Each structure stands twice: as structure tokens, then as C-alpha cells.
């Protein structure tokens, strides 16, 4: 149920048979459910549908804790008032130096941010290409990353979350022209 004053603020309604909770994406998952932390200490929280909720999806879609983790991230902007901020899978940590982008493109592009500027980019692309090639050699061709699909960016240019992870959507927007250039004929 949304606020009458501000339709962007979600106020979870309490209905018999429905059970939702907002948890830190980093909360410890246990056999007894999800151990939540103090939400005031976490900027973003994930919407979770409890296994006891009548609208909980099929167990095959639930996490090992039995609950459905939506991967939808919200910020609590007022008591029990949440604003949608994105998806958990939009924020990817890849050793904090790279991220795969290319939504809607024929193949992915790997953005890599070296730790220092003085790097031989062609050697770095070759090394990364070999390592990634071992991982994705069995995947479909449109999912494979070749050395030519790697874009080395300047240190400190990939957008980060407050925790230091790379924000994929923001990186894709920031480097859109460079990514598009990979597919220009």
C-alpha cells in the first residue's frame, strides 16, 4: 500500500496471511529464517516474502532459508515507509575491480578498473581474457567475454556503492558511449 501523501513511498500493509519483511542484504541467513539487523544501520534493505506468506512463490524459487528474497532494494525514508532504489543484482562485486555490462547488446563487455594507472592494457586484457575464457568456454557464444570485449578504464572511475562495490547500472550509463563503440560496425 502506498502513501496518500507521496505515492513513491511504500507502506507495507498488514493483511492476514501475508508476511513481508525488509532485511539487510548482508544479513546472516539461518535455518530458522533470516537474522535481521537494525535497519537504521543499513542504507538499503531487501524485500523478503516469508515462507509463511500466502503469496510466497513456489519453494523452488526460494532461498535455502525457505523465504523468497526479491532482490528488490528499498531505503527506509520514514518509519515503515520505503522507497524503491534498485535491485540487488544491479550491484555486483568482482574483486572490486571489474563489472560485466552490455544489457541489450549482442554480447557482454567487461569493464576493468586497474588499481594503478601505469598498466600495460594489452597485456592486462590478454591475462584477463585467458582467465575469463576458462570460466566461460562452455557457455553460449553470446555470453562469452573475449579479450576484445574488455574495456580498461582509469583507476577510480567505476561508480561505487557506499560499501565499495561497483554499481553495474551506473557504470553502464557512465561508459555507454564506450560500450556502444564495441558494437559499431
pLDDT score at 139: 65
pTM, to two decimals? 0.49
Q: Where are the domains of the chain?
A: 20-88, 93-183
Residue range 36-95, pLDDT digits in tens: 444 444 478 889 999 999 888 888 888 889 998 888 888 888 888 888 877 776 554 454
Task: Name the phi and psi angles at 152, rounded to 5.
Answer: -90, 125
3-state helix, strand, coil in the chain (%, to 5): 25, 25, 50
Instruction: Give domain 93-183's CATH superfamily.
Output: ANL, C-terminal domain (3.30.300.30)
Q: How many distinct helices (H) and strands (E) make up the chain? A: 3, 11
Amino acid at each position: 500500500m502506498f502513501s496518500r501523501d507521496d505515492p513513491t513511498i511504500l507502506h507495507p500493509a498488514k493483511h492476514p496471511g501475508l508476511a513481508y519483511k525488509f532485511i539487510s542484504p548482508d544479513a546472516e541467513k539461518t535455518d530458522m529464517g533470516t537474522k535481521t539487523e537494525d535497519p537504521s544501520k543499513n542504507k538499503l534493505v531487501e524485500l523478503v516474502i516469508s515462507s509463511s506468506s500466502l503469496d510466497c512463490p513456489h519453494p523452488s524459487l526460494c532461498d535455502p532459508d525457505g523465504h523468497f528474497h526479491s532482490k528488490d532494494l528499498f531505503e527506509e525514508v520514514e518509519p515503515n515507509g520505503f522507497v524503491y532504489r534498485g535491485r540487488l543484482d544491479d550491484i555486483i562485486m568482482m574483486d572490486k575491480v571489474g563489472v560485466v555490462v552490455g544489457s541489450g547488446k549482442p554480447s557482454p563487455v567487461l569493464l576493468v578498473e586497474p588499481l594503478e594507472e601505469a598498466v600495460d592494457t594489452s597485456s592486462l586484457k590478454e591475462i584477463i581474457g585467458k582467465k575469463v575464457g576458462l570460466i566461460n568456454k562452455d557457455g553460449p557464444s553470446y555470453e562469452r567475454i573475449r579479450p576484445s570485449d574488455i574495456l580498461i578504464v582509469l583507476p577510480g572511475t567505476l561508480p561505487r556503492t557506499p560499501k565499495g562495490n561497483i554499481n553495474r547500472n551506473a557504470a553502464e550509463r557512465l561508459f555507454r558511449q564506450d560500450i556502444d563503440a564495441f558494437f559499431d560496425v
